[in-house]
Amino acid sequence: MIEETGTVMSVEAGFAEVETIRTSSCTSCRARHGCGHHAIAQVSPANRMRMKAVDPLSVEVGQRVVIGIPEDTLLQASVWMYLIPLLGMVSGAILPSLWTESNDLSVLLSLLGFVGGLWFARHKANRSANNQDFYPKVLRIESVQDEASPLLFSP
């Protein structure tokens, strides 16, 4: 389960809108100087993200909660968004070479295969938009954000 901590911003029937602050482990990574993700994270001002999460715990606005999504769900989404368009592009480039030596046809069919793979991925995403298995889920409540810390005075 991939987990992230966030603050509940609003609540509606069975769902909570949770705002998380994107954290990055780039500063402790040895490969950060040659990594594109680190460069993008440095210039990106938007580190807050709001998402709709399934709420089985009846949370309230202002509470700090832990939300999670199963690894297999993330893996399945990655396959649809990355692997399917890539396979479409590669197969579109390879198939014409079996019958002809035209590079123009290979380029055209590879582009069509890539666009077709993107279309399949979008179609799958639209069909799964209301499937609650693909939504993050509130796992536990950490605290209420507005709680005051008790002050201890020594006489």
Angle 142-21-122 from CA coordinates, rounded to 5°: 110
C-alpha to C-alpha distance for 79 and 71, rounded to whole angstroms:
12
Instruction: Give the model's pLDDT for residue 26.
Output: 57
Instruction: Give the model's pLDDT for residue 80.
Output: 87
Instruction: Give the model's pLDDT for residue 117.
Output: 93
Q: Domain extents for the chain? A: 2-28+40-144
Instruction: Give the model's pLDDT for residue 103.
Output: 85
C-alpha to C-alpha distance for 42 and 137, rounded to whole angstroms:
29
Indicate left, alpha or beta for 14 from its phi (over 0: left) and psi (-120 to 50: alpha): left
For residue 17, count CB atoms less than 10 angstroms from its CB and return exposed for 0-12, middle for 13-18, buried for 19 or more.
Answer: middle
pLDDT digits (tens, 9 = 90+) for 79-120: 888 999 999 999 999 988 888 877 888 899 999 999 999 999
Instruction: Give the model's pLDDT for residue 3.
Output: 85
Q: Is the full-model pTM beyond 0.75?
A: no
Show the low-confidence residues of the chain (pLDDT under 70).
Answer: 22-46, 143-155
Instruction: Give the model's pLDDT for residue 137.
Output: 92
